[in-house]
Structure 1
Amino acid sequence: MKPLLLPLALATLLAAPAAEARRIGQLEFTDCELAQPGTAVTTLAECATLEVPEDPTQPEGRKLRLKVGLAPARAAEPAADPVIFFAGGPGQSATEAWAGIAGGFARLREKRHVVFVDQRGTGDGHRLACPFPDAQLDATPGEEELVQMARDCLAALDADVAQYTTSVAVTDIEALRQALGAPKLNLYGGSYGTRVAQEYARQYPDAVRSIILDGVVPPELALGSEHSLNLEAALEAILGRCSADAECRAAFGDPFRTLYSLRDRVRAAPQAVATRDPRTFAPRELRLDEASVVVIARLFAYAPETAALMPLLLHEAASGRPEALVAQAALVYDSLTAQINHGMQLSVACAEDAPRMQRRAEDAALVLGDSITGVLLGQCSAWPRGPVSEGFFEPLRTDTPVLLLSGELDPVTPPRYGEQVLASLGKARHLVGKGQGHILLSRGCTPRLAAQFVETLDPAGLDASCLDVLDAAPFFLDYNGATP
């Protein structure tokens, strides 16, 4: 009888009725699996498609089909006002980023659907992707080479790239709200997504019930103009903790000084490193150069878990054992480039940031240098500039309840940005996670606080004492971890 079991089970599965689609307003959602590029992270959700005009002033012109994701509420009768998630970057797809942050929304989903849509230019929203140079294999490209990369990318895209700014993109959010039949939306934006949330709230104030801004970008800020300063401050604090700890100092000395000495050494004399690919374990030749050191310093500072590895990686590389550092740099670089749609990033930054940005001589000596500003200004010289709404760069002024979240050691959107935005808000509160990095939603009791805020609309009434237990992760003293 055993041979019959598999065919019988298969026949049963094939005969089973397909799951019914969920209809919300004008949109029909069906089951889908969402994956985060460059990682093995996946999650189940429901997906639909929203059609919008590429140019909102030409509604009969070319259409974009935007992918919409839904993480359904667990309540039998969900509240009418869903939560909407705005991804970061700029250049991240919301449906691709969702798997990495879904856990932070678990408490919010008790009573409300969470929806998210690929911002135009990302994911299935008419992707504006540009190939990234492989800085881990070849010499780091110069600025003129990167400008030519932008020209080549623009020539290859079938899109009016001027229509992919934040001010245009929020019209898609309003189209989504109307398609869902939602009376209002509860906004959650992370990093660049906080800019999207503030712009939507500015253009459609009557459509917003509450706002959560996580890793806050002030409207007045030219995003990228202070990246070098912010990273430097975060690195001094993170690596200074190691110098102040007896065991960490005994193992690694002064890792901040090691960072600079290593950077200077490999800037002058990059070296090839034969190692294994961190994903496939196949032989791979990488480079220990300035780019790999800066990738580790910048991106490992984003989260306390990776920050805890930084002194060890720097010490090993400085001691002639660079394999772990270059492998980790390749891993994080490959993952990042898989998630960012650089053409969309340029459409946003060239319209909204580059016109207010200039190179700062004092940045040149810092770890990150002035490369971000220089590259952006160069590439934007070849990229069309799209529309920016009136008042876009002014502080958001609203009495809509707002909860602001920051990590104490955030290397890109430090807590002072949250304080800056808080100053113009009428009913708001700013929470800072001790020892935390970029994006707080998934940390400690923050998911519960976020859900309570959306339910009560009372930021002042939140008991945030549960955040007091948060702190930086202990440093790895060797590859086995921290001292027990």
Structure 2
Amino acid sequence: MRPRLYLACLLAVGALLAACDDTQQQASGPRADADGILHYGGLRFEPCSLAGSGNTTVRAQCSSLAVPENPDDPEGRQIELAIALVAADGMAQPDPVYMIAGGPGQSALETYPMLHAAFADVRRSRHVILVDARGTGGSNPLHCPLDEDDPVLALTGEEAEAATLEFTRRCRAQLEQVADLRFYTTGEHVRDLDAVRQALGVDRINLVGVSYGTRVAQQYAATYPDHTRALVLDSVAPNSLVLGQEHARNLEDALETHFARCREDRACVANLGDPREQLGLVRERLEAGGIGPVRYRDPVDGQWREDVPRFGHLAGLLRMYPYQPTMASMLPLLLHEAAQGRYESLLAQARMTYRNLGDSIAMGMSLSVTCSEDAPDFDTRAGDDGTVLGDTFLAMMDEQCGLWPRGSRAEGFRAPLEGDVPVLAISGEFDPVTPPRYGDEVVGHLPNGRHLVLPGQGHSVLSLGCMPKLFAQFIESTDAAALDASCLERLRPTPPFAGYYGWEP
């Protein structure tokens, strides 16, 4: 046989084998029936739209899967898990990517649209699977009404304690009509994720966890190592972390970082003063009370509202603001305004923050996770006196958990994830909730792990800068060490505001 003809034959055979392989992948992946209905494994999907904040929508295919509420009682009450498929743009590899939301208490289907753009390169060759954790979104949600008009959000001291415990009692009584609250923990979520994997008919999955979702991803990899291909951990919570235990101290460190940046900025400190001093002055006045009602415009609907400024408004804002550096950059201006007796911005921003928190977190699920997995390890003598949140934050959580049914956690729950699983961990330099040292701790036990810190950034950083490209490269290769992450050095922190116009050049 002539060389060229021989080569042509080899190429033809190779193409035929590749085509057969592609056909096998298609057969095991999503397929449409004669009526155009999409099937993936044993699940039937229908077209749907995933709605996120800011009118963001993503076209998807939605399905559901019934699972026992109590894994040890398969014949007992069943709950439906809400599932969505965001299909790959091209020929898909057999291992899809699961995105796991944070909280605890956030819905994966509702959170994903905000991260959709970050998955653009990944979706060239892989499907994205979303599963609402039981107790969130469309999976038997455990919501308790808590809106921006609820006074518990602005109270402090004994008033706040009494109001919070009363809210917890009402919440439990309401939710026990529809759920056994012991079975809405990380352990059940991990089993549900694997039940969906089996229903899809896939052997291995990639998991992308954000914040609390990183705990879920690590627990899944430890429980089902043979079905875990790779992990991406965004804003890392180590298994050793007791949720809430270090929040007051971490927040204080983050605030000091942002305040120091204002002091180092000539325009910021000259125009607005030292934010630490302003915070002390505002806190003293708010805790003393005696401030009359203040009229202000709602930042969302523009309606006029009236509230009495309290320290609870400020504490809630400070707790949430540093999550995003663009928001934290406004803190010096907000504190300066409040120190001048102008509380309109404080109240408006607090109202908007409370609204977003109430809409996005299923409080019942959050309590089931925290009270079952973390409350047994609470140390209310942690010594957080002098911090903005103080010791009362953890003490109040402990009292709430005294009223909440507790489930179980897996043996070895606190043990670090180990083994050869490829892991890419990413953190924001200024993250006040899951600081970079947490990522270092997790990767320190993983020979195939790498930790990237995004300079000047806060919480949830997957979508920032060149991170989506690095994310896609890792999912493709599972080789974190080979990534050229020098592009992240182009990221810069948002300068602190020096006035209403923003920052000075």
For the pair 1:32 / 2:52, whether they are aligned, the reply is: no
Looking at structure 1, the residues matched to 106 and 224 of structure 2 have their Cα atoms a distance apart, in angstroms, of: 23
Name the structure 1 match of 2:353. 332
Name the structure 2 match of 1:147. 165
> Displacement of 1:452 after TM fit?
0.3
Q: Deviations over 1:234-272 (max 9, x none)?
A: 110111101011111111121122122212211211542
> Displacement of 1:148 after TM fit?
2.5
For the pair 1:111 / 2:121, whether they are aligned, the reply is: no
> Displacement of 1:482 after TM fit?
2.1
Match of 2:478 among 446, 450, 457: 457
Looking at structure 2, the residues matched to 28 and 134 of structure 1 have their Cα atoms a distance apart, in angstroms, of: 39
- The one-letter code sitting in structure 2 at the alignment partner of 1:410 is D
What is the 5 A alignment of 1:166-245? 166-245=186-265
> Displacement of 1:185 after TM fit?
0.6
Looking at structure 1, the residues matched to 150 and 268 of structure 2 have their Cα atoms a distance apart, in angstroms, of: 29
Question: SS of the residue aligned with 1:263?
Answer: helix
Label 1:27 to 1:287 Cα distance change in 2 as closer, same or farther (>3 A). farther
For the pair 1:483 / 2:504, whether they are aligned, the reply is: yes
Which runs of 5 or more structure 2 residues have no equivalent in the other structure?
1-33
The higher radius of gyration belongs to: 2
Which runs of 5 or more structure 1 residues have no equivalent in the other structure?
1-17
Name the structure 1 match of 2:418. 397
Label 1:116 to 1:467 Cα distance change in 2 as closer, same or farther (>3 A). same
The TM-score normalised by the length of structure 1 is 0.93
Range moving further from structure 2, 97-106 or 127-136: 127-136
- The one-letter code sitting in structure 2 at the alignment partner of 1:128 is L
Question: SS of the residue aligned with 1:363?
Answer: coil
Looking at structure 2, the residues matched to 42 and 165 of structure 1 have their Cα atoms a distance apart, in angstroms, of: 29
User: Between the two proteins, what is the percent identity of the paired residues?
Assistant: 47
For the pair 1:356 / 2:370, whether they are aligned, the reply is: no
Question: SS of the residue aligned with 1:294?
Answer: helix
Name the structure 2 match of 1:102. 116
Name the structure 1 match of 2:85. 70
Contact 1:231 1:298 in 2 (8 A): yes
Name the structure 2 match of 1:323. 344
RMSD of aligned alpha carbons: 1.7
Looking at structure 2, the residues matched to 290 and 214 of structure 1 have their Cα atoms a distance apart, in angstroms, of: 32
> Displacement of 1:354 after TM fit?
0.6
> Displacement of 1:360 after TM fit?
3.0
Looking at structure 2, the residues matched to 150 and 292 of structure 1 have their Cα atoms a distance apart, in angstroms, of: 20
Name the structure 2 match of 1:442. 463
Looking at structure 1, the residues matched to 63 and 49 of structure 2 have their Cα atoms a distance apart, in angstroms, of: 12
Name the structure 1 match of 2:401. 380
Range moving further from structure 2, 323-332 or 79-88: 323-332
Contact 2:64 2:81 in 1 (8 A): yes
> Displacement of 1:320 after TM fit?
2.0
Q: Deviations over 1:180-224 (max 9, x none)?
A: 111111010000000000111111111100001111111111111
Label 1:100 to 1:287 Cα distance change in 2 as closer, same or farther (>3 A). farther
Contact 1:121 1:127 in 2 (8 A): yes
Name the structure 1 match of 2:58. 43
> Displacement of 1:136 after TM fit?
6.6
Looking at structure 2, the residues matched to 190 and 343 of structure 1 have their Cα atoms a distance apart, in angstroms, of: 20
Q: Deviations over 1:77-106 (max 9, x none)?
A: 111101101100001111111122222222
Looking at structure 2, the residues matched to 271 and 167 of structure 1 have their Cα atoms a distance apart, in angstroms, of: 48
Question: SS of the residue aligned with 1:362?
Answer: coil
Looking at structure 2, the residues matched to 395 and 135 of structure 1 have their Cα atoms a distance apart, in angstroms, of: 41
For the pair 1:21 / 2:37, whether they are aligned, the reply is: yes
- The one-letter code sitting in structure 2 at the alignment partner of 1:247 is A
Contact 1:161 1:347 in 2 (8 A): yes
Looking at structure 1, the residues matched to 78 and 308 of structure 2 have their Cα atoms a distance apart, in angstroms, of: 44
Name the structure 2 match of 1:3. none
Match of 1:262 among 282, 285, 291: 282
Name the structure 1 match of 2:181. 161
Match of 2:69 among 46, 54, 62: 54
Contact 2:147 2:355 in 1 (8 A): no
For the pair 1:290 / 2:290, whether they are aligned, the reply is: no
Name the structure 2 match of 1:126. 140
Name the structure 1 match of 2:19. none
Label 1:360 to 1:352 Cα distance change in 2 as closer, same or farther (>3 A). same
> Displacement of 1:231 after TM fit?
0.5
Label 1:113 to 1:317 Cα distance change in 2 as closer, same or farther (>3 A). same
- The one-letter code sitting in structure 2 at the alignment partner of 1:162 is R
Looking at structure 1, the residues matched to 218 and 492 of structure 2 have their Cα atoms a distance apart, in angstroms, of: 29
Residues matched between the structures, number = 465
